Structure 1
Amino acid sequence: MSQNILIPLDGSALGEAAVSHVSDMITRLAPGEKINITLFHTITTLNHSLYVHGGGEIVTIPYTPKELDEMKASAVKYLEKVGERFKKDGITVSCTVTLGDSAAKEILKAEEELKADLVAMSTHGRGGLARFAFGSVADKVLRAGTVPVLLIRAKEE
């Protein structure tokens, strides 16, 4: 059983699909073992996009440090709420929020820094043109990572 598990979350219910699977896996396969879970979120929207009337242009303006701090605090609060599911089973949970232009790059960096044994994440299961258009964070982490990746296909409700 992996001892350090990294669970990237995007703030959506679909993104949380891996949480219950990991919780069940720990309960069934590693009762009583010391497991460390890191819930991870990357804020990738670092600019406001404003549409300028008349000129038909889109202007981007960086968020202020205060706005970014508020976004981070909100993300930490969300991660802590998700983490309560693990804490009730005596599992150590930490929450990490980063700023970056690519969620996949930030996840891969965290995997290395945290010395993760496993990355467990949800995938929307897009294929074909949708995957090409939107990219796949899960695919990038799976292909570029150095540790096993547990992908849970999220079911849309």
Structure 2
Amino acid sequence: MYTRILAPIDGSVTSAHAFDEAIKIARANGAELQPLYVVDLQPIAYDAAATFYPDMREALLEEGRRLGAQAVERMAREGVKGTPRISEVELTGDDIAQRILRCAEDFGADLVVMGTHGRRGWRRLVLGSVAERFMRIAHCPVMLVPGREAEEDAQRREQTAETAD
């Protein structure tokens, strides 16, 4: 059913959980999987901070290479093929969700699997959601995988509702 799956990774537990699901889907479909790490550095406005900008960028690129290597190891153990990608947000008029969209289009993804923290209420409003923004602009199916914490919260709410009945 799916032949090319894109999975954004960022080193969080939530993205690792989503990547696990992406591997399962890729293995079941014989699909190619592309782990994607997005580097997002905000424009630097202060001279002192600008001095460290190249170091911060290089640290993020190194983190992307490290996470990509880990992803390839996991994929190899599961018999899933694919090559990781690192992409940088453009400093003018680009955000993480738009960068993921461009990468999905470049890759020809027919599915994007990504994690979501499952934030609700004011936390979602204040913190925003890359997953939600991406889902609104995506041109292919998107599978949002809740983080383990969100799943545990949902199970607790379900159990509380059952005991209240």
Report the TM-score range of the alignment, normalised by the length of the smaller protein.
Answer: 0.7 to 0.9
Measure the CA separation in 1 of the matches of 2:51 and 2:131.
27
Q: Secondary structure at the match of 2:37?
A: strand
Asked whether 1:42 is paired with 2:29, we answer no
Gaps of 5+ in 1: 51-57
Normalised TM-score (structure 2): 0.76
Could you say if the C-alpha distance between residues 67 and 123 of structure 1 is closer, same or farther in structure 2, counting changes exceeding 3 Å?
closer
1:107 Cα deviation (Å)? Answer: 0.4
The answer for the alignment partner of 1:127 in structure 2 is 120
Q: Let me know the Cα RMSD of the aligned residues.
A: 2.5
Cα distance in 1 between the residues matched to 2:57 and 2:128: 25
1:71 is the counterpart of 2:56: no
Structure number with the higher strand fraction is 1
Equivalent residues, number? 146
Moved more, 84-93 or 138-147: 84-93
The answer for the alignment partner of 1:92 in structure 2 is 81
TM-score (norm. length: structure 1):
0.80
1:73 Cα offset (Å)? 2.7
Report the counterpart of residue 25 of structure 1 in structure 2.
25
Structure 1 stretches of 4+ with a deviation exceeding 3 A read 46-50, 62-67
For the residue of structure 2 that corresponds to 1:61, the secondary structure is: helix
Say if 2:99 is the partner of 1:106: yes
1:145 to 98, 123, 138: 138
Residue aligned with 1:92, SS = coil
Aligned equivalents of 1:134, 1:66: Cα separation in 2: 26
What is the aligned-residue identity percentage?
A: 25
The question of whether the paired residues in 1 share the 8 Å contact of 2:65 and 2:86 is answered with: yes
- 1:120 & 1:88 partners in 2: Cα distance? 19
Q: Structure 2, unaligned stretches of length 5 or more?
A: 153-165
